[in-house]
Amino acid sequence: MKNTVVVGAQWGDEGKAKITDLLAEKADFIIRYQGGCNAGHTVVANGQTYKFHLIPSGTLYENKICFIGAGTVVLPEYFEQETRELISQGVNLSGLRVSPLATITMPYHTEVDGYSEDNAQKGKIGTTKKGIGPTYTDKYARIALKIQDLYNLETLNEKLDIILPLKNKQLTEVYGMEQYSREKVLALCEKYAEIFRPYVWFDWQKGLEDAKNEGKTVLFEGAQGVMLDVDYGTYPFVTSSNPIGGGAAVGSGYGPKMIDEVIGVAKAYVTRVGEGPFVSELANETGHKIQTIGHEFGVTTGRPRRCGWFDAVTMRYAVLVGGLTSVALTKIDVFDTFEEINVCIAYRDTRDGKVYETYPTDVFMHKYLEPVYETHKGWCQDLTGIRDYDALPENAKKYIERLEELLGVGISIVSVGPDREQTIFR
């Protein structure tokens, strides 16, 4: 297998974890490169369902290194809970490693995230309230704590000299919250040091170098999706990191030359959780049908996911900015009982009739756009037992091949159910 990045090609929850788990079998090294426990990743294998948030979805195989890279943000209590749950399911975490450079989400980050969401009059984003935005804000403001700081009291105190006065001024004056005393933060850090101790990989440079020299296969696991990317997504209705393929070169510790291919994972339709524009959204019975059959409820927050038809306009954009070299199409089985299936091939401006085939990046104007659809005949057949592309009904193949034509890249994997086995490789 080539060194591969798995990227969400829509607004997250595309089935990345299923694809990562599948590809992980042939990889030696799996690296999560951005995001935090805002992610909710599901793998169904061996008759069990496993839920991951921070820990790479390749963890189910033995003898792999699963690395949480420097580009991630980690919420210690959540990390601890996740490791506990996976161990109780019989998962062996001896290959799990955490970068000393990963950024720590402190309780004040989650508090600020919750406060901002609950008090937003306008511009509510609908975040997961896991402190993602405030943690990345502090990281880029250069006032965040890294995991390595937990093991050096002198560094920690020196950093707190800078962080605490700024943070406390902000917490009290902007948010009307309680201050954090040095004693309180040091006590938290002591606890966090113990949580991460079995997993911190101080020797990561040698580990990555050895893997490179020995020609080990690396799988880079993205969280969220291209349309939630902080630079290229539907800003400001996005997350605060870079899920795009290029993000792997930043957040993993390996440069771009290490990447051979980028697989974009996309559902046969589109879902979105939280606020923000969604031109092909179906706020009707059909949307509800997709939501019900597809079990479209968030893994992390339990919120219902908004559903709509496949949007080839955003997806073509995702192919470009996400650096996708091929696509894994998931959840096509959700359409098994649909007599007709629409694909959004362009947007039309309701004000002047102007048609957009290229994604318009000013998302505040999307309220004026309506989808232009192309209608496909359904296959009205159960696809969940099919394992061979040629055995798919003609209408399913036509749908897949039309999407390839619209996107300009091949669909290399078709997923027909949540289980690891329910997959067609082409």
3-state secondary structure of 336: coil
Exactly one of 21, 28, 41, 149 is catalytic; name it.
41
Mask: binding to ligand IMO, 254-273, rule CB under 6 A, as x and -? Answer: -------------------x
Which residues does residue 419 pair with via DSSP β-bridges, in sequence order? Answer: 44
274 binds ligand IMO (CB under 6 A): yes
Nearer Cβ to ligand IMO, position 278 or 379? 278
Peptide bond into 236 cis (omega under 30): yes
Find the angle CA(333)-CA(335)-CA(336) to the nearest 5 degrees. Answer: 70
54 binds ligand GDP (CB under 6 A): no
Q: Which of these, 331, 326, 325, 291, lies nearest to 307 by C-alpha position?
A: 291
Q: Which stretch binds ligand IMO (CB under 6 A): 158-166, 181-189, 224-232, 341-349?
A: 224-232
125 binds ligand IMO (CB under 6 A): yes
Mask: binding to ligand IMO, 128-147, rule CB under 6 A, as x and -? Answer: x-x-xx--------------
Nearer Cβ to ligand GDP, position 134 or 222? 222
75 binds ligand IMO (CB under 6 A): no
- Other C-beta atoms lying within 10 Å of the C-beta of residue 345: 18
Residue for token pair 């061979």: 388
Report the C-alpha gap between 125 and 263 in whole angstroms.
27
User: Active-site residue 13, yes or no?
Assistant: yes
Report the C-alpha gap between 323 and 246 in whole angstroms.
7
3-state secondary structure of 175: coil
What DSSP element (H or E) covers 155? helix 153-169
Nearer Cβ to ligand GDP, position 131 or 264? 264
3-state secondary structure of 349: strand
Q: Which stretch binds ligand IMO (CB under 6 A): 36-44, 81-89, 101-109, 345-353?
A: 36-44
Q: Which of residues 327-386 bind ligand GDP (CB under 6 A)?
A: 330-331, 333-334
Residues that bind ligand IMO (CB under 6 A): 8, 11-13, 38-41, 125-128, 130, 132-133, 223-225, 228, 239-240, 273-274
Catalytic center residues:
13, 41
